[in-house]
Amino acid sequence: MEAVAIESAVGELRPIVDVLVSQIDEGVILSELGGMVVCSNPAARSLLGLPAGTRLQDLRDLGGLNLQRMIDRAERDAATLGSVMSEAGFVGFERPLHIDQQVHSLEFRSGQVHLPDKPGVARLTIIRDVSDRNRLRAVLDSGHRGTLVTQDSHTLDIISRLQQIGPTQATVLIQGESGTGKTQIARLLHEHSQRAGGPLVEINCAAIPETLIESELFGHVKGAFTGAQEARQGRFQSAHGGTLLLDEVGELPLHLQAKLLRVLQDHRFEKVGSDKSIEADVRVIAASNRNLRQALDEGAFRADLYYRLAVIPINVPPLRERPGDIPLLIRHFHGRLAAKGYSDQVRFGPEAMQMMMDYPWPGNVRELSNAVEHGIICAVDGWVLPSSLPQDIRNAMPGAKLEAAHEAELDDRRAIVDALDATGGNRAQAAKRLGIDRSTLWRRMNRLGIDTK
């Protein structure tokens, strides 16, 4: 159907259409099947990161985004699977889009529609920002072994990339400080891969003695060395058809780095004490808290292995660079502890929360998890106070500031208790005496653990 015919059909309804679509948050684009845009609403331009007043002309070029190609691919995939996303014949898909240095997850739904009393069809495309929904899913899905709880734009960008990287066979090198979530990212990669139905085998190269690491990786035959009374398969065999995570790969000794390189190149290896080659149908994901580029310069890591592992490098930011995740993670860990039997009524006071926001977290998310548990165990009358936090966090705050926080809590508590005593427990009069309203008094009593019943 020609764009002019669609334009004519829309023209009869345009006054009503313009009012309707301008009032909704979803982006709406009406186009002819070839991609020429007939009309769109302001929300569509905003969601696509285009300046206000921009006139959308063609689905093949919306500020550099080829939406027509995405729709064509989604329709081909739906036809291949023998289904569509809805009875109305619409297809749906999500794509990450960089807008103002942040990653937004956009949901597109597109299908062909018949216009009243006109021949042929047009295309209707609806766009929604589902970033918040996806973040909420990540928080609620605490039972998911690969969960990453974050609202940090950099980390969300990594998660978005996993959907592209996962289905490939490329090796991935994940680098970041200890406790940043490298293992969770590796698990998400496996779950987004075509090997998700196969095993995910994890090995920490730093936790195994150098004399045993070769046998752990590649297995051994009976009698290969003293104590080898039985043949044993290694982690590569255990991961056949699946994924092998080599955590702390930077700790591998140089002679094993050469053997690992050969497996990555030839997809074959030999057990210790054997000359029989075994096929390795394994995707390797490596992780390290060391800077492996620096290790190259120091001669502690082979350059050829580094470049073989780092086909796709991922650098995970430390927690101190994403402080906005700290309250989110505190709630997440509290929920997990409550599921294990800890009190779900404990609250983090503002002073304690501020101390946790200010702390640099050298142990990252792992240390934060421990701190949340410590705080809940040592809570005072249902509140996590500065004194409830681990000593490392309290020591990180200047002594005078920490003491002032303690004194402020004590002074506030004494003032409220004295006001309640002086008024015989009448909260309205106590609030008036303190120069605050009743709701503020109730919140302070609740925070300080003063009986509010």
Residue 55 has pLDDT above 50, yes or no: yes
Residue 18 has pLDDT above 90, yes or no: no
CATH of the domain at 393: 1.10.8.60
Residue type, 50: L
Confidence of residue 133 (pLDDT cuts 50, 70, 90): low
Residues 411 and 288 reside in one and the same domain: no
User: Does 67 reside within a domain?
Assistant: yes
Residue 237 has pLDDT above 70, yes or no: yes
Residues 308 and 160 reside in one and the same domain: yes
Residues 154 and 78 reside in one and the same domain: no
Residues 276 and 170 reside in one and the same domain: yes
The mean pLDDT of the chain is 83
Residues 333 and 307 reside in one and the same domain: no
Q: What is the four-CA torsion angle of 142, 148, 152, 153, rounded to 10 degrees?
A: -120
Residues 157 and 66 reside in one and the same domain: no
Residues 75 and 170 reside in one and the same domain: no
pLDDT for 284: 97
Helix 350-358 with 325-339: angle, nearest 10 deg: 120
Mean pLDDT value across residues 231-235:
90
SS3 labels along 194-215: CCCCCCEEEEEHHHCCHHHHHH
If we measure between CA atoms, which residue out of 281, 287, 319 comes closest to residue 199?
281
| Residues in a beta bridge with 246 | 203, 286
CATH of the domain at 157: 3.40.50.300
Last residue of a domain, one of 264, 294, 317: 317
Residues 96 and 225 reside in one and the same domain: no
Mean pLDDT value across residues 353-362:
90
Instruction: State the residue range of the domain holding 298.
Output: 136-317
SS3 labels along 377-402: HCCECCEECHHHCCHHHHHHCCHHHH
Residue 310 has a CB neighbour count (10 Å cut-off) of 17
pLDDT for 142: 35
Q: What is the pLDDT of residues 308-323, one digit of tens each?
A: 999 999 999 999 998 8
Contact assessment for residue 26 and residue 124, using Cβ atoms and an 8 Å cutoff = no
Confidence of residue 101 (pLDDT cuts 50, 70, 90): low
Residues 439 and 327 reside in one and the same domain: yes
pLDDT for 52: 80
Residues 341 and 275 reside in one and the same domain: no
Query: Of 57-66, 156-165, 349-358, 405-414, which range is least confident?
Result: 405-414
pLDDT for 13: 52
Query: How many angstroms from the chain centroid is the CA of residue 248?
Result: 21
Domain total in the chain: 3
Q: What is the pLDDT of residues 142-164, one digit of tens each?
A: 344 446 778 787 887 888 788 88
Contact assessment for residue 32 and residue 38, using Cβ atoms and an 8 Å cutoff = yes
Residue 259 has pLDDT above 90, yes or no: yes
User: Does 398 reside within a domain?
Assistant: yes
Distance, CA of 355 to CA of 363 (rounded, Å): 16
Mean pLDDT value across residues 292-301:
91
Residue 117 has pLDDT above 80, yes or no: no
Confidence of residue 85 (pLDDT cuts 50, 70, 90): very low
Pairing of strands 102-114, 91-99: antiparallel
pTM for this structure? 0.61
